[in-house]
Amino acid sequence: MNDISLQKLVQRISQDDFRKPFLHKALFNTRLQTTGGRYLLKSHDIEVNPKYVEKFGHDELVGIIKHELCHYHLHLEGRGYRHRDRDFRVLMQKVGAPRFCSRIPQSYLVYRCQQCDARYRRRKRMDVARYVCGACKGKLIFFEKIVD
């Protein structure tokens, strides 16, 4: 799927489910890391994380679009568009938009102290020659990789 077909899908969902036109841009943003999509307040554009489409499929994409369109239409109408606002929650329930998108599993690296057996979880690899255990100053070694 490309940006043009995403734009058409967002326009169709907006018209079918919200009965209002979507007049701005819908784009894929590969730099999004922790979220399925976002609505930009200043430009009124919607950005979608393509990793979620690849991992979870078309239904997840439609859910993300509906969620972001709830932000979009409520913001343009001057009503409560934030997650905590009643208007937002009511509209999400009306159109069947999910509150959260599915979670992509994260991988962690576990390091272990050779002296006291303390464990440290890290997302990024670390140089065990430069760091020591915070509890006993012992030597750290790579222990295992965990996928949550």
Report the half-sphere exposure of 39 (CA within 13 A, side-chain side).
21
Element (H, E) at 87: helix 86-95
Candidates 54, 60, 68, 77; catalytic one? 68
Instruction: Please check whether residue 101 lies inside any domain of the structure.
Output: no
Mean pLDDT by 10 residues, the chain (148 residues): 91 96 96 92 96 91 96 96 96 94 87 95 94 95 90
77 and 28 belong to one structural domain: yes
111 and 75 belong to one structural domain: no
135 and 63 belong to one structural domain: no
140 exposure class (CB count in 10 Å sphere: 0-12, 13-18, 19+): buried
Q: What total of structural domains would you count in the chain?
A: 2
Instruction: Please check whether residue 19 lies inside any domain of the structure.
Output: yes
* Structural domain for 142, as ranges: 107-147
Question: The pTM is what?
Answer: 0.76
74 and 13 belong to one structural domain: yes
Instruction: State yes or no: is 68 an active-site residue.
Output: yes
